[in-house]
Copies of this chain bind each other. A is one copy, B any other.
Amino acid sequence: MKTLVIVSHPEINNSQTQQFLLQGAKLQDVTWHHVEELSEIDVEKEQALLKEHDRIIFQFPLYWYAAPEGLKHWEDNVLTRNFVYGDGDDNLAEKEFGIVVSTGMPLKDFQRGGSENVTIDEIMAPYFAIAQRAKMQILPVFTIAQFQYLQENTQMQLLIDYQRYLTQQYPDSLQNRQIWFEREFTDRFKNFDGTNCNECETILNTFIQQREDISQLKSTISLIKQGEDE
């Protein structure tokens, strides 16, 4: 599976969040595509890029409840009617569509009664509508709130969740998570030189935790079954 991350940020070099995510996106089969860096949009090239990938991600900071103008510029030019749904060419159909959105406001503000009084899902409606029109499979939004206030270990956890968002098979089931972690373990430990590695440790801990969760669940189920049999 190949993933295209279409990133929009007018000052990406000054964005701590985007620089952090850029490190995380350095994975096999992931293409990082920063739209503001394109001097001009070559529509055919962009459309070819979309076709080559199986999972399309829009990634941006929330500017007035939407992506920065750069992404709209890209959308208005690249997503021609014919390419997306005209003339029976459903070029994006069956592909997966995800959103990685960062905000400086706390997540709790984005709910009815919160200071924004609207949910992240609600303000993402235009993007979902595009995905739906293109017959894509919509993934749940990946929201990063107040990145700069997160503690280092939470940031590391976020990085792994982000990597899973980019490359793990959908849906985010326990089984798919296990397959992902096992694959990543194998790949990463190959390149692990024995020095201290925070990321490796976090992966390992998460994995062990999940293994324990599973074994606990299994024994619970087995107890329930025993109870039913008696």
B66 contacts A69, C-beta separation under 8 Å: no
Within 8 A of B (CB), among A31-53: none
- A contact residues, total (Cβ < 8 Å): 25
Q: How many copies are assembled?
A: 2
Q: By the criterion CB–CB under 8 Å, are B72 and A130 in contact? A: no
Separation of A129 and B129 alpha carbons in the complex (Å): 18
Does A24 lie at the interface of the complex (its beta carbon under 8 Å from any beta carbon of B)? no
Asked if residues B66 and A79 are in contact (CB atoms below 8 Å), the reply is no
On whether the beta carbons of B69 and A126 are closer than 8 Å, the reply is: no
In the complex, the answer to whether B125 meets A65 with C-beta atoms within 8 Å is: yes
Whole-angstrom distance between the Cβ of A158 and the nearest chain B Cβ: 25
Known: A116-B129, A125-B118, A132-B118. A76 touches B68 (CB 8 A): yes
Instruction: Tell me if A128 counts as interface (CB < 8 A to partner B).
Output: yes
Given the complex of chains A and B, what is the CA–CA distance between A69 and B129 in angstroms? 17
Q: Which 9 A-B pairs have the closest CB atoms?
A: A65-B126, A69-B72, A65-B129, A69-B73, A66-B126, A72-B72, A122-B125, A123-B125, A64-B75
